[in-house]
Structure 1
Amino acid sequence: MISLASLARRTACATLLGLTALLPSTAGAASFDCRAPADAFQRTVCADPALSALEGEVATYRRDMAGIPWRRGLRERHDAAMAALRNDSARDPAAIRRGLQARLAALREENEWFSSHGLEEAPERRLRTTCLALPSSEGAAAQRRRCRVAEFGSLGTVDGRRFAFALYEYPPDPTGDLANETAILVLSAGQPGEWTVDIAERLTEANCMRPRLVRHGQDSLLYLPCAETGTAGGAIPLLYRRAGPASFRIWQEIEAEGWRSTLEQRLPAGLEVRGVVALDPERLTVAFRLWREDDRDCCPTGGRAEARLALEGERLVLRDVALRPGQQNPPQR
């Protein structure tokens, strides 16, 4: 049950920030076309008007979270749970109802974090010394673990608004039951001496460094340089673009990995990419080494190349690949 005070607070926050995900949904129909259900799950949902309304409400919450970058973890957990529900309970109305009700409760609960855990209008003196309570993919036990602010500092100004960042460190779990975690936050200035969280990423088995505000053409980009830990750890591409009308500018998340699916077909025959690739956010390029088919992982002999990328809507796309001068030697047969 949502109290009147809670509803008023959420309504005010949603009006101010344009975040409709903070408001109760009034969806009355499924999110898909019940005139032509695509699979068994959709057929089961469409056969029950109450189930259709429930699915539509869950889908509305999920859709409205799409423009809120710091809810990446919640979106990923929700999508995984929904995929499991579709696969395991496609023909069981009761199981679908329980699953959708559980998803709706989880979405509502985690959406409350924005207003109830200090993620808006937090005093700077507190942010410099005390970690905010961020949702964790590791569950309730992870919420109780200790945390320290490893770094807090200024990033610069975009659209006349000042931005800052914070890096959190969570000490290793002595029992070994919880994965190592880190967090990176980007905050925007509000009232004097106060900051509101724009982006917060709590990551497992990763390290992050100071974010970067960069210009690329007419776009203002925000790059969070994070990478998986371990010798084979790869970069975690976290890229955002400043977008929206002048009255309500937000950091829009950019899909920054899909371009790699088209990379292999652009490489010369017999060459491949195995190692870590890192994005240059100012030039939108990625430099990498090339392996021949019979190379050991430690010792690439195929030279170097550079992928040139472009922003296309809300994603990065591969424009072309340039082999570095003197590195185009064909594989030895």
Structure 2
Amino acid sequence: MAKLLGVLLAGGALAVAGAAAPARAASFDCARARSPAERLVCADPALSSLDERLAAAYRAALAAVPWQRRLRGDQAAWLRATRDRAAGDPATLAAAYRARIAALEAETRRAADPALTALSESQIAGSCVPLPPAAEEEAAPPPCAVRESGPLGTLDGRRLHYAIYGYPDPDSPDRETLAKVATVVFAETAPGRFAARYADGPDDVRCGAPRLLRAQRGPLLHIPCSRDGTGMFNAESVLAPGEGGRWRLLDTGSWTRDLGRRLPRGYGAWKGIYPDYEALAAVTPLWRDGDANCCPTGGRAEIRLGWEGDRLVLRDLRLRLGAQEVPR
């Protein structure tokens, strides 16, 4: 019997469900296999076994590493760029699976490094923990400096700290605006000892200090970030507490697709929308076709949000188009 598990990604998260598959075991439902690579895996017992090993290695890495977002992105990229392109030859596909399993097992071992799991407050403030490079082709991250750090509060008896790192551009080390940024959140594991529990970046975003929110659905960790450019697009992370002081990333972006569908034809929200996660509300100007990027003339949208599991959803929309207020 097959189980629909974690090498298929949906909405940025690992898909997990149960299903039956004829004659073969794989980490996904063979009855729904669509791509040539999936059909080849379902038809070959050795590849099917490797696929289940890969799913187990991915689950273990995702549970261990602080850099969840990067790991999910890497896994999705591997599925598209490596697995699916190797579908023409079983031997090539098997080698790709073995290499990816080894890489995921190395990620899990890296997450157990004492440099990530046994830190004092002075170490958090004074030096960067060893995060993975921003791109696979980099041998190591560029030089790093702690830009700021401090306490976040206490959750379930564990003290929380954060640090924001800067990685200068090697070609322009004096231009701070070109530096990549990483944000790391630490949880106390023993008196005076901290472990990295979430890490986002290095990336070309601008981040402020994380905040511990006391929201309606429970405590949330909010890492406010925006991406450079005229849009100042939202690049923040919102997380909910998990087991062992770890945090899981919530889906706070897919609701904007629903917003786009519900706006009148010719209207759009062109720039970043930054919800209030405690009030579950947001407001955005509206642009009309033909507006300049600087100057929206379409009015505004007042948005009410809610949670469905780990996904933020659009509950209610009220539009003020000029002097007119329009429920949607």
TM-score range, shorter chain: 0.7 to 0.9
Question: Are 2:225 and 1:226 aligned?
Answer: yes
State which drifts further: 65-74 or 44-53. Answer: 65-74
TM-score under structure 1 normalisation?
0.81
Residue type of the alignment partner of 1:84:
A
How many angstroms does 1:267 deviate by? 2.0
Question: Are 2:158 and 1:161 aligned?
Answer: yes
Residue type of the alignment partner of 1:102:
A
Q: What do residues 23-66 of structure 1 show as CA deviations (whole Å, max 9, x unaligned)?
A: xxxxx942124466433212211232221111111122223445
How many angstroms does 1:147 deviate by? 0.7
Q: What do residues 62-88 of structure 1 show as CA deviations (whole Å, max 9, x unaligned)?
A: 234455663220221121111223432
Partner of 2:191: 192
Partner of 1:147: 144
Gaps of at least 5 residues in structure 2 are 1-23
Q: Cα RMSD (Å) of the superposition?
A: 2.5
The 1:264/1:128 distance shift into structure 2, 3 A limit, reads: same
For 1:281, which of 267, 270, 277 is the aligned residue?
277
The 1:200/1:285 distance shift into structure 2, 3 A limit, reads: same
Give yes or no for contact 1:69–1:253 (8 Å, CA) kept in 2: no
- Find the aligned partners of 1:102 and 1:327 in 2 and give their Cα distance: 60
Identity %: 37
- Find the aligned partners of 1:160 and 1:36 in 2 and give their Cα distance: 45
How many angstroms does 1:255 deviate by? 0.8
Partner of 1:236: 235
Secondary structure of residue in 1 paired with 2:48: helix
How many angstroms does 1:168 deviate by? 0.5
Give yes or no for contact 1:110–1:135 (8 Å, CA) kept in 2: no
Secondary structure of residue in 1 paired with 2:27: coil
Partner of 1:114: 111
Partner of 1:11: none
Give yes or no for contact 1:266–1:320 (8 Å, CA) kept in 2: no
The 1:294/1:36 distance shift into structure 2, 3 A limit, reads: closer
Residue type of the alignment partner of 1:253:
L
Residue type of the alignment partner of 1:38:
R
- Find the aligned partners of 2:325 and 2:121 in 1 and give their Cα distance: 55
Q: What do residues 266-303 of structure 1 show as CA deviations (whole Å, max 9, x unaligned)?
A: 22343211112112222222221101122122211011
Secondary structure of residue in 1 paired with 2:70: helix
- Find the aligned partners of 2:138 and 2:97 in 1 and give their Cα distance: 24
- Find the aligned partners of 1:218 and 1:234 in 2 and give their Cα distance: 25
What number of residue pairs does the alignment pair up? 298
- Find the aligned partners of 2:71 and 2:100 in 1 and give their Cα distance: 11
For 1:173, which of 170, 189, 201 is the aligned residue?
170
Partner of 1:82: 79
Q: What do residues 175-217 of structure 1 show as CA deviations (whole Å, max 9, x unaligned)?
A: 79xx842110111112222111111111321111100111122
- Find the aligned partners of 2:323 and 2:53 in 1 and give their Cα distance: 55
Residue type of the alignment partner of 1:147:
C
Question: Are 2:100 and 1:103 aligned?
Answer: yes
- Find the aligned partners of 1:84 and 1:175 in 2 and give their Cα distance: 32
For 2:264, which of 245, 264, 268 is the aligned residue?
268
Secondary structure of residue in 2 paired with 1:223: strand
Secondary structure of residue in 2 paired with 1:32: coil
Question: Structure 1 residue runs of 4+, over 6 Å off?
Answer: none
Residue type of the alignment partner of 1:308:
R
For 2:45, which of 29, 43, 49 is the aligned residue?
49
